[in-house]
Amino acid sequence: MATTSRAGRATAPLGQEPWPPRARLIVFLLALYAMLAFGDKAILGLVGPPMMADLGLTNAEFGAIGSSFSLLFCLTAIVIGLLGNRVSPRWLLAGLAVVWSIAQLPVLLPVVGFAGLVGTRVLLGAGEGPAVPLASHTAFTWVPIRSRALAAALLAIGGGAGIVVGAPLLMLAIQAYGWRAPFGILGVLGLIWAIGWLAVGGTGPHHYAAPGTTAGNGPSGSRGTPGTTAGAAGGPAERVPYRRIFALSTWWGAVLAGFTVFWTLGLALTWLPTYLEEQAGYDPSTVSLLVGLPSIFSIVSILVAGLVADRLLRRGVSRRVAYGVVPAVAMVAGGIALIVMSRLGAGWPLLAAMTVAFSTGPALTPLTNAAIADVCPPAQRSGVLATAHALATTGNVAAPFASGLVVDLAPSESAGFAAALGLAGVLLLAGAALAATTIRPDAHAARLLVPG
């Protein structure tokens, strides 16, 4: 079905609309935003051994610092996400970047120890909590409906690039200036991004577009009419009670499956460098390169999953397959690799298993973001995405501390790491089963056609 502009001119068929002007620039800036956010998360794993030696930290204390990042992460993600339904993302995203940048600068002071690190990581998490869902919501306002999976994948690729590009450079800074230096570097880069975003960022012409509507699809790039009910056009109602959205298995299935992915991410960011150095015997410089392997291949898995989903949708395959089954297949491979990883010793078998273990799960998040966006009225999309992200990232809260505790309680450090990796693998397999069976955007979008 072709869409029609306000002037009555026919435009591209629905699902094949071109990206509006500036959309690529905006998506690129938002990918940089995700890149800086993931670079901030990666710091702790890179500075782990020298930090622990300098401050005399136990494994549990180091894990507590990693988990403290997520203490306010979930709360601010929900609050700012709901605020994003009403306030321009131009100011919200810039403000969050300023908060998380300023949070890192005190670490440069030599007097900042365990308590100070916990405090700065809490503030950092508060600033970054709403970052990914709000960036996704903003990107969705700039692209046509069928391009949401691809746009979300590009943002996720930016996050992976934050580790691929950042880890070697940050390790050079650690070796030259000490373990505190990377915190200051990323703090300054975040402030520079905020200035650039204020200059060109904002909301796009698809802000009010919903599946089956024509808002924002004309050549003029109009925003559409916010007061229009979409039921007559075949899309969701303008607003529905949040409880109806949260009761859909597409939403809570995405949350639970996402929890397992973020568990593995928290494990990788906090403990993978230490595991490679102390268990596999690699030197710190080599570790800084090796931890980038999962991120490089996560970029590949995210992009491939996004392109496969996009191709399936264009061929008329259901969104249940594109957004649920496709990432589930990738997660199964990751879960198996996590379980066998600790049994392989050093060398290329370990590196291959590590790469698969930590690179396949991230394919889930952009696709479930697109699935949630498809069943959610546009006026509530920011808050719904943020709430899902906040609950899913509690995996980040639990994994660093729980894994450190497992290592401390095990009869040996190697046995502890094996148990921690096995637990993450079982969780990821459970998440794959949830993604394949609960993500049903087509049925659930239809269920919300009429306001309840």
Write the pLDDT tens digit of every residue in 398-430: 887 788 888 888 888 888 888 999 999 999 999
**CATH classification of the domain holding 76:** 1.20.1250.20
What is the residue whose two structure tokens read 């996720």?
A: 156
Q: Give the pLDDT mean for 254-268.
A: 92
* Inside any domain, residue 9: no
Number of structural domains in the chain: 1
In b/e form, how buried is each residue of 63-100, taking b as 16+ CB within 10 angstroms? bbbbbbbbbbbbebbbbbbbbbbeeebbebbbebbbbb
The count of other CB atoms within 10 Å of the CB of residue 424 is: 30
**CA-only gyration radius of the chain, Å:** 22
* Inside any domain, residue 8: no
Write the pLDDT tens digit of every residue in 139-163: 888 887 777 777 887 887 777 677 6
Q: Give the pLDDT mean for 225-240.
A: 46
Write the pLDDT tens digit of every residue in 167-214: 778 878 888 888 888 888 888 998 999 999 998 887 777 665 444 333
* Inside any domain, residue 264: yes
Q: Give the pLDDT mean for 83-110.
A: 84
CA angle 158, 27, 217 (to 5 degrees): 145
Q: Which residue has the higher pLDDT, 110 or 334?
A: 334
The SS3 of residue 112 is: coil
Cα separation of 92 and 80, whole Å? 8
Q: Does pTM surpass 0.75?
A: no
Cα separation of 170 and 181, whole Å? 8
* Inside any domain, residue 401: yes
Q: What is the pLDDT of residue 155?
A: 82
* Inside any domain, residue 196: yes
Residue 262 is part of which domain span? 20-447
N-to-C CA span, the chain: 28
Using pLDDT thresholds of 50, 70 and 90, give the confidence band for residue 63: confident
Task: Count how many Cα atoms sit within 13 Å of the Cα of residue 445 in the half-sphere of its side chain.
Answer: 22
* Inside any domain, residue 402: yes
Residue 204, Ramachandran bin (φ over 0: left; ψ between -120 and 50: alpha; else beta): beta
* Inside any domain, residue 7: no
Write the pLDDT tens digit of every residue in 113-124: 888 888 888 888
Residue 357 in contact with residue 337, Cβ under 8 Å? yes
Q: What is the pLDDT of residue 16?
A: 53
* Inside any domain, residue 1: no
